[in-house]
Structure 1
Amino acid sequence: MEWKALLAVVAAGTLVAGCAATAAETETASASAGSASKSAAKIAFPSTYKPYPSDNIVITGATIFDGEGQRIDNGVIFMSAGKIVSVGGPESAIPTDSTIIDATGKYVTPGIIDIHSHLGDYPTPSVAAHSDGNEATSPVTPEVWAEHSVWPQDPGFSRALANGGITSLQILPGSANLFGGRAVTLKNVPARTVQAMKFPGAPYGMKMACGENPKRVYGGRNRKPSTRMGSLSLTRQTWIKAQDYRKKQRGAKPPKRDLAMETLAGVLDGDILVHNHCYRADELNQIIDMSKEFGYKVTAFHHAVESYKIADILAKEGICSAIWADWWGFKMEAYDAIPENAALLQQAGACVVIHSDDENQIQRLNQEASKALADGRAMGIEISDAQAIQWITYNAAKAMGIADQTGSLKPGKMADVVLWNDNPLSVYSRPEKVWIDGAMLYDANDPSRRPVSDFELGQPGEGDVK
C-alpha cells in the first residue's frame, strides 16, 4: 500500500526493518525451544510489525470514552512514543513540547476492534479468485492458518480504517468446517506482508463451528457430519486424537510433527484461543460441556443469536458473545434472534462484543453498537454510551487476548486512538483522525493521509475513500 506523505519517511527504516523478527519474539521462541509444539508455533511466520513514527500529541477538550466504561468530559489525553501517557480531566497538565489538538465538541475513543473479520482472505473485489477463507475439503482442518490467505492489498483494510476507525482486527477462516483453522490478529496498517501487520504478542485464535454450516457443506457428500449429532461426535473424536498427541509430545519420544494436532495441542495448553461459530442456545451449552470434557475453554461464541437465552450461564463461564446488532432470519438457526440480545447479555453481567463478519459492516461498528444500545434502552435496560463503546473496544480486545496492550485508553497501552467529529454512537459521526501506536494514519482533512491500496493505484477514482 502507498501512503503518500508517510511512506516516504519510513520506507527505508520501517518496512525494511519489518523483514526481521522482533527481539522479544526471538527471545520467546528461544525460551520455548524445549517444547516442540510451542517452539514450532512461535518460530513459524513471526510478526515483523514495526510501528510507524509518532510524535508527542495532546488532545484537549474532548469527551473521552476510555473503553472500559468510563466517560470523561472536557478531557485531555497525552500520547508519546507510541503509548498512552495520561488520560484525565481539564485540570491535566499539558506538555509544552507537544502538538496540541483542540477537540472541543468532539469525542475520543480507543481504536475500534473487530473480533470477527474476513478481510484479506475474502477481499475486495469479491470474485472467485479471491475466495480463500474456507478450506472446504474436510470438516476437520485445524492445520490451516488464515494468515496464509490474507492479501495485504485488500482495499477493505483502508476503508475500515477511514470509515470505521478500525485499528486492530482478527481474521478468521470461514465456518464450513468443524475445525476451520487458526485465526490471526492484525494491526490495521499498510504493509507489504501479512507478517508486518501481525499484532505483536497476540495469541492465535482457533476457529470452530457448529450447527447448519458444517452439515450443509459435507452432509450431501455422504460424509460426516450430516447431522448435529454427527458434528459433535466427530469433534469429540478429534479432541481425543489431540489429547493423545499432546501426551506423546510430553513423553521421551515425541511423535512425528503433525500440523493439525500441533494446533489443537496449543488449544489444550491454553496458548490458542477458541472462537466458536454457533447460533442456538442449546448448542452453545453443548459446546461448553464438551470443552469441559476435554479441558479447553471457549473464549467467545460468534454470531450467537440466542445467547440471551443462556446469558446467566455465559456470565458464569466468562465466555464472550460476539454478535450482530440485528442480523437474523437468513437461515433457520438465525431465526430466533432478537435485537435486545446485547442488552440482555449486558444486564446479566456477560461479556458483549459487536462484530462485523462483513467488509461493509466493519466500516460502521460504532453504528451497530448504537443500534444494540437503543434496542436495550427501548426495553428499559439502562446502559451508558461509555458501556456501549466497550462492546467494540475493550471487550473485543479481552476476548482476543490483547487487552493488556490495547482496547482502552490507559497509561502504558498502545496509543490506538480515534478522534470522532461527534458522538461515535451517532449515525452522523465519522472518524476525523486515527492513530495507531501514536502514528496518525488517517486524517479526514488531509488527503495525503488517506490510505490507498497498491491494488487501487491507477484505478478510476483512485484515492477516494467511499
Structure 2
Amino acid sequence: MKFRALLALVASGSLVAGCAATAAETNSASASTSAKPSKPEKTAFPSTYKAYPSTPTAITGVTIFDGEGGRIDNGTVFMSGGKIDSVGGPDTAIPADATILDGAGKYVTPGIIDVHSHLGDYPTPSVSAHSDGNEATSPVTPQVWAEHSVWPQDPGFSRAMANGGITALQILPGSANLFGGRSVTLKNMPSRTVQGMKFPGAPYGMKMACGENPKRVYGSRSRLPSTRMGNLALNRQTWIDAQEYRKKRNSAKPPKRDLGKETLAGVLDGDILVHNHCYRADELAQIIDMSKEFGYKVTAFHHAVESYKIADILAKEGICSAVWADWWGFKMEAYDAIPENAALLQKAGACVIIHSDDENQIQRLNQEAAKAQADGRAMGIEISDAQAIQWITLNPAKAMGIDRMTGSLKTGKMADVVLWNGDPLSVYARPEKVWIDGALMFDSGDPTRRPVSDFELGQPGEGDVK
C-alpha cells in the first residue's frame, strides 16, 4: 500500500493494509516508573495516534519468548481488544470467535523495540535535503525536538517492520552537540503526520553527548568546547543556568519562556529522560557524577563501548547500556570496544540493550542480539535465548519509560507481537506476521498487509517494481 493511497484512504475514512472502518483511539496509559519519570511531558504537539482495527487472535503450538526472560514451549498467545489477553500453555482458553493461527515450528516474541534510531530525521533517499537530525550550530541546543524533523514517508519505517519486527522506536537527535534536543518515541505505524505515530503516554527523552563528537565539531571552529574538560565545563554551566530558570519558573515573577531551559527543567523535574551518547568508561563515570551534582538521572548510556569496565557501577546506579554487538575501531574512543561487552554487563546484573543507530541494522536487531549472546557464551557466560530477547524488547521499553504498556507479552499490555518463521536468534529467521495493538500490520504472505512508502525503491517483494 503506497503512501499517497494511505492519504486518500485515511481522508475518506478507510484505512491501509487491508484494514476496514475507522480506527479506534487507544487508551493512554501512565508512563513507566522504571526510568523514574513522574508524568509524560505536556506538549503543544500531542499524539494523535489511533490504533488500527483488530480481531481476537490466538497463536497456538508456538515457542514463546515473553520478553521478561521467560520461555514457553508449545504455548498459546491470545490477543483481544488490542491487548494481550492471555499467555500460557496448550490448555489456555480460547474463545470460539477467535481467529486461530497454528504456530507449530514457529516463535513469538514481543514487538522489537529500538532505543536508538534516526529514521525520519535521516531518511532514505539519503540526500543533503533530508539531513535533519543534527542542529550543529551550537553545542547546546536542548530547544530542538527530533519529532519536528521526522518525515513519516521514510521507507526505513516499513523496512524495519517487515525485516526486523520493529513495533516501536525512539528517534534521537544526532550527537554533534552536548545537548542535542528532545527525542520522541514512535509507534511504527503508517501515518500522514508524526503526531499520528507518537507513542501515546510515552515520556520525552533528551539526547546528550560526550567525548569526541562535540569537541571535534566545535573545536574545529575554534570555539568551546575543544577538549573534554571544555565539554564538562559547558555541560555544568548549562545545568547551573537550568537550575536558576527552574527556580524562577515558580516564583512570583517567572522568567521569559525559554524552549531550551524548559526541556532542561523537565529533566530536573524527572519528566524527561536522559539518553547520553558516551563511549569511554572514565567519561561514563564523570557523567554519573555530574548527574548527581545537578539532581537528574541518566536513563541510558548509548553506544557505551566501554561499559564492561564499570559494569558494577552501572548495575548499582540502575543505568542501562544501549550497545552494539561488535562495532569497533572506527574512532579512537571506540578502540577498547569488545564483542563481549553486553555479556559482561549481563553477568554483572546491569541493564543491557542492543540498539541500531543505523537504518539497516534496525532490520536485524534479533541477529545482533544473537551475536552478542554468542560472544558471551564463547567466554563462558551462559545467556539464555529468552534473556537475549529481553535485550531488544523489555529492556529498551524500560529505558524509554514505556514498559508498563509494551515490551513483554503480559496480560493487559499492548498487543505488539511478532510471529517469526523460525528461531528469532537464527540468521535465517524473518518476521512472518507483525501485530501492533492487536492489528495485523504486516503479513509476509499477504501483499495487502505490507505498508510501503512512495519512496521505496523496489526492495524484493515490496512496491510496484516487477
Greater Cα offset, 41-50 or 451-460: 451-460
Q: Partner residue of 1:328?
A: 328
Question: What residue in structure 2 maps to residue 215 of structure 1?
Answer: 215
Residue matched to 2:294: 294
Alpha-carbon offset, residue 21 of structure 1: 9.8
CA–CA separation in structure 2 for the residues paired with 1:21 and 1:412: 16
Q: 1:201 offset after TM fit, Å?
A: 0.4
> Which residue pairs with 1:362 in the alignment?
362
Give the distance between the partners of 2:387 and 2:174, measured in 1 at CA: 30
Q: Helix, strand or coil: the match of 1:42?
A: coil
Q: Deviation per CA, 1:122-149: give whole Å up to 9, x if none.
A: 0001111110000000000000000000
Per-residue CA shift, 1:169-224, capped at 9, x if unaligned? 00000000000000000000000000000000000000000000001100011101
Determine the C-alpha separation between the residues in 2 that align with 1:176 and 1:117: 15
**TM-aligned CA deviation for residue 384 of structure 1:** 0.3
Deviation at 1:20, TM superposition (A): 12
Identify the residue that residue 235 of structure 2 maps to in structure 1. 235
Q: 1:192 to 1:9 in 2, by over 3 A?
A: closer
1:385 aligned partner = 385
**Does 1:251 find its partner at 2:232?**
no
Q: Secondary structure at 1:100's aligned position in 2?
A: strand
Unaligned runs of 5+ residues in structure 2 are 16-20, 32-38
TM-superposed deviation, 1:74: 0.4
- Residues of 1 paired with 2:418 and 2:28: CA distance? 28
SS in 1 for 2:42: helix
Partners of 1:156 and 1:315 lie apart in 2 by: 34
User: How many angstroms apart in 1 are the aligned matches of 2:141 and 2:28?
Assistant: 30
Q: How many angstroms apart in 2 are the aligned matches of 1:24 and 1:198?
A: 11
Any idea what the Cα deviations from partners look like across 1:247-288, whole Å, max 9, x if unmatched?
001111111100000000000000000000000000000000
Q: Is the 8 A contact 2:376 2:383 kept in 1?
A: yes
Instruction: Count residues with an aligned counterpart.
Output: 455
Give the distance between the partners of 2:228 and 2:242, measured in 1 at CA.
21
Question: Kindly tell me: are residues 24 and 408 of structure 1, through their superposed partners in 2, closer, same or farther at Cα, counting changes over 3 Å?
Answer: closer
Q: Displacement of 1:456 after TM fit?
A: 3.7
1:464, CA displacement in angstroms?
A: 6.8
Q: 1:48 is matched by which residue type in structure 2?
A: T
- Residue 79 of structure 2 contacts residue 85 of structure 2 at CA under 8 Å; is this kept in 1? yes
**Superposed, which structure 2 residues align to 1:247-326 within 5 Å?**
247-326=247-326
TM-score by length of 2: 0.93
Q: 1:42-94 deviations in whole A, cap 9, x for unaligned? A: 13100000000000000000000000000000000100110000000111112
Asked if 2 retains the 8 angstrom alpha-carbon contact of 1:177 and 1:208, the reply is: yes
Other structure's SS at 2:114 match: strand
Residues 1:405 and 2:405 are matched in the alignment:
yes
Offset at 1:435? Answer: 0.2
Summarize the Cα distance change of 1:224–1:20 in structure 2 as closer, same or farther, 3 Å threshold: farther
Residue of structure 2 in register with 1:151 after alignment: 151
Question: Match for residue 196 of structure 1?
Answer: 196
Which deviates the most, 246-255 or 265-274?
246-255
**Equivalent in the alignment of 2:438:** 438
- Contact 1:14–1:52 (CA<8 Å) still a contact in 2? no
**Shift of residue 454 of structure 1?**
2.9
Q: Which residue of 1 aligns with 2:53?
A: 53
Distance 1:140 1:21, change over 3 A: farther
**Aligned equivalents of 1:461 and 1:89: distance in 2?**
35
**Alignment correspondent of 2:132:** 132
**1:68 alignment counterpart:** 68
RMSD of the alignment, in Å? 2.7
CA shift at 1:9, angstroms? Answer: 7.5
SS at match of 1:173: coil
In the other structure, the counterpart of 2:34 is none
Inter-CA distance 284–76: structure 2 relative to 1 (3 Å threshold)? same
What TM-score results when the alignment is normalised by the length of structure 1? 0.93
Cα distance in 2 for partners of 1:146, 1:216 equals 22
Alignment of 1:158-173 (within 5 A): 158-173=158-173
CA contact (8 A) 2:24 2:53 kept: no
Q: Deviations over 1:296-342 (max 9, x none)?
A: 00000000000000000000000000000000100000000000000
2:110 and 2:422 map into 1 onto residues whose CA distance is: 15
State the shift of 1:461 in Å: 8.4
Compare the two structures and name the one with the higher helix fraction. Answer: 1
Aligned-pair identity in percent equals 83
- For 1:395, the equivalent position in structure 2 comes to 395
Quick one: which amino acid aligns to residue 108 of structure 2?
V
Distance 1:72 1:401 in 2: 26
Contact 1:3 1:449 in 2 (8 A): no
Q: CA deviation at 1:6?
A: 8.7
Q: Is the 8 A contact 1:304 1:322 kept in 2?
A: yes
Q: 1 CA distance for matches of 2:109 and 2:26?
A: 29
TM-superposed CA distance for 1:2, in Å, is: 3.4
Q: What is the match of residue 112 of structure 1?
A: 112
**Is contact 1:3–1:448 with CA below 8 Å preserved after alignment?**
no
- Aligned residue for 2:108, secondary structure, equals strand
Q: Distance in 2 between matches of 1:146 and 1:24?
A: 22
C-alpha deviation, 1:111, in angstroms? 0.1
Q: What is the CA-CA distance between 1:451 and the residue it aligns to?
A: 1.5
SS at match of 1:370: helix
Contact 2:25 2:51 in 1 (8 A): no
Amino acid at match of 2:87: V
Please give the per-residue CA displacement for 1:381-420, whole angstroms capped at 9, x wherever unaligned: 0110000000000000000000000000000000000000
Residue of structure 2 in register with 1:35 after alignment: none
1:99 maps to 2:99: yes
Query: What is the letter of the counterpart of residue 283 of structure 1?
Result: E
- State the 1:459 CA deviation: 11
| Cα deviation 1:98-121 (Å, max 9, x = unaligned) | 000000010000000000000000
Contact 1:143 1:263 in 2 (8 A): yes
SS at match of 2:208: strand
The separation in 2 between residues aligned to 1:103 and 1:464, in whole angstroms, is 30
- Partners of 2:78 and 2:350 lie apart in 1 by 32
Map of 1:33 onto structure 2: none
Aligned-pair distance for 1:379? 0.5
For the residues of structure 1 that align with 2:167 and 2:26, how far apart are their CA atoms? Answer: 21
User: What amino acid does structure 2 have at the position aligned with 1:374?
Assistant: A
Seen in structure 2, the aligned counterparts of structure 1 residues 240 and 65 have a Cα distance that, compared at 3 Å, is: same
Distance in 2 (CA, whole Å) between partners of 1:163 and 1:460 is: 12
C-alpha distance in structure 1 between counterparts of 2:459 and 2:100, whole Å? 37
Name the CA shift for 1:184/1:385 in 2 (closer, same or farther; >3 Å). Answer: same
